Structure 1
Amino acid sequence: MEHDRLPTRAWVLHPDLKTDDHRRAPKPALEEAVSLASALPNLEVLGSNVVPLPKAHAGLLFGSGKIAELKAVFAANEVELVLIDGPVSPVQQRNLEKEWGVKILDRTGLILEIFSDRARTREGVLQVEMAALSYQRTRLVRAWTHLERQRGGLGFVGGPGETQMEADRRAIDTQLLALKKQLDKVAKTRTLHRAARAKVPYPIVALVGYTNAGKSTLFNRLTGAEVLAKDMLFATLDPTMRRLRLPEVTEVILSDTVGFISNLPTQLVAAFRATLEEVLAADLIVHVRDISHPDTGAQARDVETILASLGVEEGTPRLEVWNKVDALPAEEREAMRNRADRDDGVLAISALTGEGLDALCSAIALKVQDARTEEQLHLGFDEGRRRAWLFKQEVVQNETQGEDGYELTVTWTPRQKAQFSAL
């Protein structure tokens, strides 16, 4: 079809709503929105604007003067799609599409579209479809042709029949139920994989961070894995795990996860909880920050908020990694290195050039070792299965046999202790 051959001509708007107490700095917010749009294939971003908004207008979001001004811009540039970096109600979407003669996609719809394009595993695809259905269920302003597609985007950006409503809530609910059954089957398979991985005596180290912080580049540098690593938001959606040998520690399992983002749609936080389960099971969380980004502090806070919403315990050992120091001016770079040196648990690195990676590996090894505690256990002769599990985990330091069982000295992580308690 034509939209598969020619890129869709798009324009990005960031409404800077003055009444929003939590609004982000408009310039970096617009840049992020443009990066989001650029992450979609077959999309050509022709231009972008910050639109100052004293207050949101119920029917059209923007005021009549701004509507007319933008209409002229879109017509002159033959714009087909307008991406609005914020929430847009179904009524506003319909009215704006009618006024401007273009398709409208809000921030949630755009992120869903990107997630759909990036998801690689069966579970990832199902999760995105469920999130998209939950989002669209309240809108019903699009045809549901994309549900019949086997792969690719969700159909918000292009496709036949999108200008008329061809589905009702019962059709969506039926589809949601079918997807949930499929997801349950996939989740059971993942549970089996997790059980197999739990038998591996290596600690899990999870890389987390704001999207585009450089996690995948760092992951590739450390493990030699060829995970998709581009200067593109949401380049990684499905967790990738690799073994990593560290100094003075046998090995760890390193996990690369989906990038977090501010105002992540609630549907996606819920849908991707399973995708982020490696973070919940981690013995160490490595928070990778793009220290060269003007909003790096706000991004870090967004990551911490999402980690808390996922249920990650505050007591889980952490390391903070200030990445992309190579992108800073020389003086600022040196100051950043000095600050990191003074701050315990913080390292300044460049995943791109390799600077600071030896120190990072040593810090990970130290943190993983610190996470292990030594304990004395008594097991009866009838607890052979639990004893065998301990030896398989390679946590037993010493064992003596007494009259009524075994006395063992073990060194283990909190995760291993919890697994043992559940046996």
Structure 2
Amino acid sequence: MIEIKPRTSERERAVLIGIVNRWQDEEKSAEYLDELEFLADTAGADSIKRFTQKLDTPHPKTFLGTGKMEEIQSYIKSEDIDVAIFDDELTPSQLKSIEQMFKCKVLDRTNLILDIFAARAETSYARTQVELAQYEYLLPRLTRMWTHLERQKGGIGMRGPGETQIETDRRIIQQKISLLKKKLEKIDKQMATQRGNRGSLVRVALVGYTNVGKSTLMNRMAKSEVLAENKLFATLDTTVRKVVIGNLPFLLSDTVGFIRKLPTQLVESFKSTLDEVREADVLLHVVDISHSNFMEHIESVNKTIGEIDGQEKPTIMVFNKIDLYKHEEPEVIDPEEDLEERYFTIDDWKRTWMAKMDGNAVFISAEKKQNMDALRESIYRIVSGIHAERFPFENFLY
């Protein structure tokens, strides 16, 4: 339930807009808008109100129906709203029509995610990746914007005979995209060399939906200081640390979190970051077990892993945040037992269907350091097997 918040000088006021259709019922639509609200909060906006409408397909010009759009327009004007955020990607014509109607800033989910990435990119490499994704998103939407990008290039001598402002801007953006791609190709080669220089150590990659606790787990495993906070996309750059379990060294990498409807521009521009997943020997798929929709999160991550040919790798399902888990309907009910106490033991977790996923599942709390030894044992078992195949003549005590 969204609570009306007073205006502050720093944060913008936003309304969230989504649809209900045959693919997403009201419950799922509410779940998606919860995530959109979290995205908006991460970007620096307070979500004031939500609007949804039942539609088989979005309206080609205004996304929602005329009556609902007029209702939103009236609310935006009366409540001094700064930005309207749509949960789905809008077409260039929809963006243009909606902005003219609302007379405020209009963002879709893709634009919002790109904005968060831009704000959180710290290294030159991450900033270049985000800039490329932003320009690729912007290019087909130039018709709705009044830009003067030629000033960045000096203006004089850049405009052809009879060339319109839009054509000039489009050409400048295409040039920028070309330059950024060349820059990324150069960095990609450097990063590939760095990966090659790491030797033949077994490589383990942390993957998972955004904000599931990968960076916290990285800190626990590697005794490192990777940024970990309750914000979406806290990690954009891949972090690699050497970890030793028992007498066995391996490389552990923390990667950018996945999300439902991850913009295609970001998937492409963050290709090298995802290469850490593609080239890993083992995947630790971290899941926030306390999230009500964790199964869809698993599916979203598996889909992206499949797109980069990583689905055949040995994978350990790491169900994190067991300390925050709330089970409303246990699979086995014993009326003589206290359910709250019963369903927070590791033995009970081992009896759930989740424990049988691919034969490799561990239940932990990285924050509370619960059951971390079991995770280390699972990693050790798989990594030692790969290490033995790679170095058959080395005498490690397994």
Is the pair's TM-score, using the shorter chain for normalization, greater than 0.5? Answer: yes
CA distance in 1, matches of 2:215, 2:202: 20
User: Is residue 181 of structure 2 the alignment partner of residue 180 of structure 1?
Assistant: yes
Structure 1 counterpart of 2:320, one-letter code:
N
Partner residue of 2:383? 368
Q: Is the 8 A contact 1:119 1:237 kept in 2?
A: yes
- Provide the residue aligned with 1:312 in structure 2: 310
Q: In the alignment, is the contact (CA less than 8 A) between 2:14 and 2:82 conserved in 1?
A: yes
Q: Which amino acid aligns with 2:229?
A: K
Which ranges in structure 1 are unaligned for 5 or more consecutive residues? 150-163, 376-394, 399-409, 412-423
Shift of 1:134: 1.2
The 3-state SS of whatever aligns with 1:236 is: coil
* 1:366-421 deviation per Cα after TM superposition (whole angstroms, max 9, x unaligned): 1111224548xxxxxxxxxxxxxxxxxxx3617xxxxxxxxxxx99xxxxxxxxxx
Larger displacement relative to structure 2 (261-270 or 5-14): 5-14
Structure 1 SS opposite 2:273: coil
Q: 1:289-368, aligned counterparts within 5 Å?
A: 289-314=287-312, 316-329=313-326, 330=340, 331-334=342-345, 335-339=348-352, 344-368=359-383
Q: Within 1, Cα distance between the matches of 2:317 and 2:151?
A: 43
Q: Which runs of 5+ in 2 are unaligned?
A: 1-7, 153-164, 327-339
User: Aligned equivalents of 2:226 and 2:168: distance in 1?
Assistant: 38
Looking at structure 1, the residues matched to 125 and 285 of structure 2 have their Cα atoms a distance apart, in angstroms, of 25
Contact 2:150 2:169 in 1 (8 A): no
Inter-CA distance 297–51: structure 2 relative to 1 (3 Å threshold): same
Q: Measure the CA separation in 2 of the matches of 1:23 and 1:219.
A: 36
Query: How far apart are 1:23 and its partner, in Å?
Result: 9.8
Instruction: Please provide the CA RMSD for this pair.
Output: 2.7
Structure 1 residues 100 and 292, CA, compared in 2 at 3 Å: closer, same or farther?
Answer: same
CA distance in structure 2 between the partners assigned to 1:333 and 1:261 by the alignment? 28
Distance in structure 1 (CA, Å) of the matches to 2:380 and 2:244: 9
1:232 and 1:312 map into 2 onto residues whose CA distance is: 26
What is the match of residue 393 of structure 2?
Answer: 397
Aligned to 2:279: 281
Kept in 2, the 8 Å contact 1:238–1:257? The answer is yes
Change in Cα spacing, 1:218 to 1:134, as seen in structure 2 (3 Å) is: same
User: Contact between 1:202 and 1:252, CA under 8 Å: does it hold in 2?
Assistant: yes
How far the C-alpha of 1:20 sits from its partner, in A, is 4.1
Deviation at 1:341, TM superposition (A): 5.0
Partner Cα distance (2:228, 2:240) in 1: 15
Q: Distance in 1 between matches of 2:180 and 2:151?
A: 13
Counterpart in the other structure of 1:379: none
1:33 — aligned with what?
36
Task: Tell me the residue number matched to 1:228.
Answer: 227
Residue 95 of structure 2 aligns with which residue? 93
Report the AA paired with residue 115 of structure 1.
Answer: F
Match of 1:254 among 249, 252, 255: 252
2:15 alignment counterpart: 11
Q: Which secondary structure does the structure 2 equivalent of 1:347 belong to? A: strand
Instruction: Give the TM-score of the pair, scaled to structure 1.
Output: 0.78
Q: Find the residue that maps to 1:25 and give its secondary structure.
A: helix
Alignment: residue pair count: 358
Residue identity in the other structure for 1:34: E
Compute the displacement of 1:352 (Å).
1.2
Q: Secondary structure of 1:320's partner? A: strand
Q: In the TM superposition, what is the alpha-carbon distance from 1:237 to its structure 2 partner?
A: 1.0
- Single out whichever of 5-14 and 249-258 deviates more from structure 2: 5-14
Q: How does 1:405-416 map to 2 (within 5 A)?
A: none
Change (3 A) 1:369 1:139: same
Q: Which amino acid aligns with 1:240?
A: T
Q: 1:19·1:55 contact (CA, 8 Å) conserved in 2?
A: no
Identity of aligned residues (%): 34
Code of the residue aligned with 2:297 in structure 1: it is Q
